[in-house]
Amino acid sequence: MTGTAVVPKKRMSPRKRAALVRYVQYALLVLLVVVLALIADWGEIRRAFLDLDIAGAQFPDVIVIALKNTIIYTACGFAFGLALGLVLALMRLSSVGPYRWISTGIIELFRGLPALVVFLVLGLGLSLAFGTQLSNLTTVTLALGLVGGAYMAETIRAGIQAVPKGQYEAARTLGMTHSRAMITIVLPQAFRVILPPLTNELILLTKDSSLVYILGLSLDEYELTAFGRENMNANANLTPMVTIALCYLLITVPLSIVVRRLEAKSGKAR
Amino acid sequence: MTVTADRGAAAIDVQQLHKYFGDNEVLKGIDFHIGRGEVVCVIGPSGSGKSTLLRCVNLLEQPTSGTILVEGDEITDPDADVDALRARIGMVFQQFNLFPHMTVLRNLTVAQEKVLKRGRAEATQVARANLEKVGLSDKADAYPAHLSGGQQQRVAIARALSMNPDMMLFDEPTSALDPELVGDVLAVMKDLASEGMTMMVVTHEMGFAREVADKVVFMDGGVIVEEGLPADVLGNPQHERTQAFLSRVL
């Protein structure tokens, strides 16, 4: 080719081509939605998912029992997990070898196991091994706390390490002890950094709290998923599932918004 | 060298200090002495061990061997209360290291309250006096991120002074500053020196060393090559390594 190659041929510019591709994608999406809407059996869907009589019958229990229990289980598990995670993170960063080994072992164990397995082992195994029957709330607190704590330990450790070493040194040169320097200077800065990932962990635990059903619950211990399943079976209808799905979103969507706010804020502070 | 008679007057007395990082010997048997009220500037090329020496004096670095006495107390003794000793030694860092999650005032009061157990009112009073001293009374409620480097370093000095230390260590306090901000920080340090504060200053500011120091120490390769009056060490260096260094920086 000669120097005329610089002049484009009669073809679409890359930007126009990208726009065309996008329009085709939109058209395909609309087409898909229309086709699905046409072939769906709306009467059946309304009957199976959106039966207002069945939905109405679930109130107020779905709120005052199920949603309340989900929140209680999650809060207890998260509180224990956060405390455990903090201890494990500090042990992991310790200069004492055995502390590091123990915390690494615990973290790897509970990060590596499915939460369901932890629930089963704690719920059934502990009573067999020690002959004591833990209450369901204790079991769910321990199980969620161990699983969540193992994840949070790594997050907290990363947060502590993100605080410049000079902060710790400055605190020590002012005469603070190691613990005082960690509590007053290092940890507050670390938690600022890790608030968004910790809130994500809270959302994950909210959903994992449904695994408590494996323990066998009495009626007033039902959380959202167990409540939904029970009512789904009793009514032979999926409407209860839609109800509890909305309840979960009632917890998780506000939390997601909080996370995004926090991320935007910490991004600005940098 | 130091004689036993004036040991009592020694603010800092370092004897046969060795420090290894792994196999790397950073300090090779340092003997070093600062009398009460003296201002000593430590100069030398980077990697000469001068910052390590300074950081050994308050045990931010653990010496491999040797003895360090601060006001007659042996801080290298395994039984020494290092936290209590550190509270008596102010330190100013190259990177300021202000606490970013606290206001300027809180930066100055937190250790007074948590370490010296002063009440809030007394701590605040001391803090405000020291802010006044470094010329930043109006910044008490600001956060460090909103201050210039020079202002941050002056706050860091005020923070150290709020502990009423017996002496102050400065680790290249002006090296991270824009050139036009260096003067303010040096002025504060000069004021301190004229008030009789014992000061150990690791610095590249030869003008400050010449004007303010009672003694200049030149370090290279982990040893003290030459020390003496600023006019002698800076104006008429005897050792060729000192001459070579000064010809490059002056």
pLDDT tens per residue, range B37-90: 999 999 999 889 999 999 999 999 999 999 999 988 898 888 889 998 899 999
Residues on chain B touching A189 (C-beta within 8 angstroms): 99-101
| Res A265: pLDDT | 73
Q: pLDDT tens for chain B, 250 residues: list them.
A: 433 434 446 899 999 999 999 999 999 999 999 999 999 999 999 889 999 999 999 999 999 999 999 988 898 888 889 998 899 999 999 999 999 999 999 999 999 999 999 999 999 999 999 999 999 999 999 999 999 999 999 999 999 999 999 999 999 999 999 989 899 999 999 999 999 999 999 999 999 999 999 999 999 999 999 999 999 999 899 999 999 999 888 7
Report the side by side order of strands in the sheet with B24-35: B24-35, B10-21, B65-70, B73-74
Cβ contact B98:B156 at 8 Å: yes
Cross-chain Cβ contact A269/B145 below 8 Å: yes
Residue B70: strand pairing partners: B12, B73
Task: Please indicate whether, in this complex, the C-beta atoms of B101 and A166 are within 8 angstroms of each other.
Answer: no
Tell me what pLDDT residue A74 has: 94
Contact: B114, A169; criterion CB under 8 Å: no
Q: Is the pLDDT of residue A132 over 70?
A: yes
Is A175 within 8 Å of B101 when comparing Cβ atoms? Answer: no
Q: What is the pLDDT of residues A157-170, one digit of tens each?
A: 999 999 999 999 99
Alpha carbons B106 and B109: distance in angstroms, whole number: 5
Closest CA–CA distance from residue B16 to any residue of chain A (Å): 23
The secondary structure of chain A, three-state, reads CCHHHHCCCCCCCHHHHHHHHHHHHHHHHHHHHHHHHHHCCHHHHHHHHCCHHHHHHHCCHHHHHHHHHHHHHHHHHHHHHHHHHHHHHHHHCCCCHHHHHHHHHHHHHHHHCCHHHHHHHHHHHHHHHHCCCCCHHHHHHHHHHHHHHHHHHHHHHHHHHHCCHHHHHHHHHCCCCHHHHHHHHHHHHHHHHHHHHHHHHHHHHHHHHHHHHHHCCCHHHCCHHHHHHHHHHHHCCCHHHHHHHHHHHHHHHHHHHHHHHHHHHHHHHC
Backbone Cα Rg of chain A: 26
Q: Which two tokens stand for residue A75?
A: 């809060």
Considering only the beta carbons, identify the residue of A175, A188, A269 that sits closest to B83: A175
Is the confidence at residue A2, as pLDDT, over 60?
Answer: no
Contact: B101, A174; criterion CB under 8 Å: no
Per-residue pLDDT, B53: 94
CB contact under 8 Å between A173 and B58, yes or no, is: yes
CA A171 from centroid of its chain's CA atoms: 35
- Element housing B170 (H / E): strand B167-171
Alpha-carbon distance A219 to A227, whole Å?
A: 8
pLDDT band at A218 (very low <50, low <70, confident <90, very high): confident
Structure confidence at residue A10 (pLDDT): 67
Nearest residue of chain A to residue B113 (CA atoms)? A176
Considering chain A, what percentage of its residues have pLDDT values greater than 70? Answer: 94
Out of B86, B95, B100, name the one closest to residue A175 (CB): B86
CB B120, CB B113: distance < 8 Å: yes
Q: Tell me the mean pLDDT in the region A81-95.
A: 94
pLDDT tens for A45-71 read: 888 888 888 878 788 888 888 888 899
pLDDT at A85 over 60: yes
| Residue A5 scores a pLDDT above 60 | no
State the nearest Cα–Cα gap between A103 and chain B, in angstroms.
Answer: 27
Q: List, as ranges, residues 79-118 from B with C-beta within 8 Å of A.
A: 83-84, 86-91, 93, 95, 97-101, 110-111, 114-116
Quote the CA–CA distance of B75 and B53 in Å, as a whole number.
Answer: 14
Confidence check: pLDDT of A4 > 60: no
Cα–Cα distance measured from residue B14 to residue A50, given in angstroms and rounded to the nearest whole number? 83
Percentage above 90 pLDDT, chain A:
47
- Report which DSSP code applies to B4: G
Contacts of A166 in chain B (CB under 8 A): 93, 95, 97
Write down the mean pLDDT value for chain A.
87
Cα→Cα distances A36→A26, A41, A238, B179, Å:
15, 10, 20, 69
| Residue B162: closest C-alpha in chain A | A174
Compare CB distances from B111 to A169, A175, A192 and report the shortest one's residue. Answer: A175
DSSP state of B110: H
Q: Is the pLDDT of residue A35 over 50?
A: yes
Using the Cβ of B189 and the Cβ atoms of chain A, whether some distance falls under 8 Å is answered with no
pTM of the model: 0.82
- Inter-chain CB proximity B97 and A170 less than 8 Å: yes
Chain B residues closer than 8 Å to A172 by CB:
60, 83, 86
* pLDDT (0 to 100) of residue A124: 82
What three-state secondary structure class fits B26?
strand
**Which of A167, A168, A174 has the highest number of chain B CBs within 10 A, making it the mutation to test binding with B?**
A174
Average pLDDT over residues A165-189: 95
CB contact under 8 A, B110 and A170: no
For residues A241-250, average pLDDT:
90
Domains of chain B: 7-247 (3.40.50.300)
